[in-house]
Copies of this chain bind each other. A is one copy, B any other.
Amino acid sequence: MHAEIIAVGTEILLGQIVNTNSAFLADKLADLGVNVFYQTVVGDNESRMLETIEIASKRNDLVILSGGLGPTEDDLTKQMVAKFLNEKLVENKDAMLKIENHFAQTGRKMTENNKLQALYIEGSVPIKNHAGMAVGDFYKGAACDFLLLPGPPNELKTMFNKEVEELLKQTYNLNSHLESKVLRFFGIGESKLVTELEDIINAQTNPTIAPYAKTNEVTLRITASATEGKSAEKLIGEMETNVLNRVGNYFYGYGDDNSLQNVVVTELIKNNLSISAAESLTAGLFQSTLAEVAGVSKVYPGGFVTYANAVKSDVLGIPTETIKKHGVVSESIAKQMAIQTQDKMKTDIAISFTGVAGPDELEGQKAGTVWIGLAFKDNPVVAKQFHFAGNRETIRQRSVLSGLKWIFDEINE
């Protein structure tokens, strides 16, 4: 089963928008076991669209087009596919009703053009658009099938997830019984992860494992199909144990839609541990990252941003002499910041960040030099030094994530 993805739109050709639709569709099709050997982008131009459709129809079982279903003169996808197939466009009653209602409700006048969005190719299956007005289209052809999807990413994704995935599974009998599980790692780069798992990766057949570098972290997707006598879940479980035996120190959680902050806040709530922070170079980024997680107010009352030395003295009560003596980017100041914050905020945990975000040096220390202090319950306060590479933003982000990972490790000690 071979499919080609054609994104239609001059904005993509001009580089005004990045083609995320093709990546989304390719990922979904890979999961369904459909081979995608080509992706193409073509502008809103009749002859070039027809040429692209013709080339694609010759080398594929299914051609998927995204974009060009809208109401403007530039939207030609439906018309060109119909022309190629020598079919007519007909009206979908549900879609037309939706368009008419929309204009009635908003009090705007419906122009003739808007009716275009309710048309579909005669003989095909119209596909409901839950997030917009242009109807989708699935046409079973003699040699090649066509799937037409809207261009706005939210409309495309919603239509795919709610309607198309099931339609493709049924039409092409794609029930592959593939299962997959995503493991998330922080503190190890993709190349090191691959090196650590090299023999496992080289020997993979079922399950397969695939590492992906994300911003500041790496994920590993384990995918398996059931074999005689073993379920996919069991195969994945065995592979997971293998992997975690090697790189378990860097592992923190599961799933595509997860994050270190999500896991840490969940554990804090589960363990009824409150937390606060005093931030210098990160300037609120740690606390702001915690607060991305709904429900954090159960364990997080607030904290300090002590950017200037005077504020470290005035607000946290760290004597000016101490800062002068040790330097502000030091083990001693990181510890004091954490202790004072734990005391003032009366929380179980307090974490502190002091360091050089760059680009300039500070007190003779290079950009990327960071001390993180951690007062964890009644344990003696500890500070660790880190050296991060990268620009100002990367240094601050990695500081925050390293702090989160340290807390995660302490909780799971």
* Chain B residues with CB under 8 A of A36: 13-15
With both chains docked as a complex, state the minimum distance between the C-beta of A3 and any C-beta of chain B, in angstroms. 11
* Chain B residues with CB under 8 A of A315: 302, 344
* A345 CB–B CB distance under 8 Å: yes
Question: Interface with B: A17-25, A86-94, A131-139, which one?
Answer: A17-25
A375 to B46, CA, bound (A): 58
- Report yes or no: B52 in contact with A55, Cβ–Cβ below 8 A: no
- Report yes or no: B37 in contact with A42, Cβ–Cβ below 8 A: yes
A16 to B16, CA, bound (A): 22
* A212 CB–B CB distance under 8 Å: yes
- Report yes or no: B392 in contact with A292, Cβ–Cβ below 8 A: yes
- Report yes or no: B13 in contact with A37, Cβ–Cβ below 8 A: yes
Chain A window 279-305, contacts with chain B (Cβ cutoff 8 Å), 1 for yes, 0 for no: 101111111101110101100111111
Copies of this chain per assembly? 2
The listed residue (B15, B17, B396) touching A25 by CB distance below 8 A is B15
* Chain A residue total in the interface (Cβ 8 A): 69
- Report yes or no: B212 in contact with A16, Cβ–Cβ below 8 A: yes
* Chain B residues with CB under 8 A of A286: 284
* A203 CB–B CB distance under 8 Å: no
* A178 CB–B CB distance under 8 Å: no
The listed residue (B12, B25, B284, B359) touching A283 by CB distance below 8 A is B284
* Chain B residues with CB under 8 A of A302: 283, 304-308, 311, 315
Considering the complex, give the chain B residue whose CB is closest to the CB of A5. B41
With both chains docked as a complex, state the minimum distance between the C-beta of A106 and any C-beta of chain B, in angstroms. 12
* A361 CB–B CB distance under 8 Å: no
- Report yes or no: B13 in contact with A17, Cβ–Cβ below 8 A: no
* A57 CB–B CB distance under 8 Å: no
- Report yes or no: B55 in contact with A26, Cβ–Cβ below 8 A: no
Considering the complex, give the chain B residue whose CB is closest to the CB of A362. B297
A359 to B293, CA, bound (A): 10
Q: Using a CB-CB cutoff of 8 Å, which residues 19-62 of chain A contact chain B?
A: 19-20, 22-30, 36-43, 45, 48, 52, 55
Given contacts A288-B283, A297-B307, A304-B305, contact A20 B18 (CB under 8 A): yes
* A104 CB–B CB distance under 8 Å: no
A sample of 9 cross-chain residue pairs with beta-carbon separation below 8 angstroms, ordered by A number, consists of A12-B26, A15-B22, A15-B23, A18-B19, A38-B41, A38-B42, A39-B40, A292-B393, A304-B305
Instruction: Give the top 4 A-B pairs by smallest Cβ distance, nearest first.
Output: A284-B284, A15-B27, A15-B26, A283-B291
Q: A13-B37, A37-B42 are in contact. List 18 more A-B contacts (CB 8 A).
A: A12-B26, A14-B27, A15-B27, A16-B212, A19-B19, A19-B39, A39-B40, A277-B305, A279-B284, A283-B290, A283-B291, A284-B287, A288-B396, A291-B307, A300-B307, A301-B307, A302-B311, A302-B315
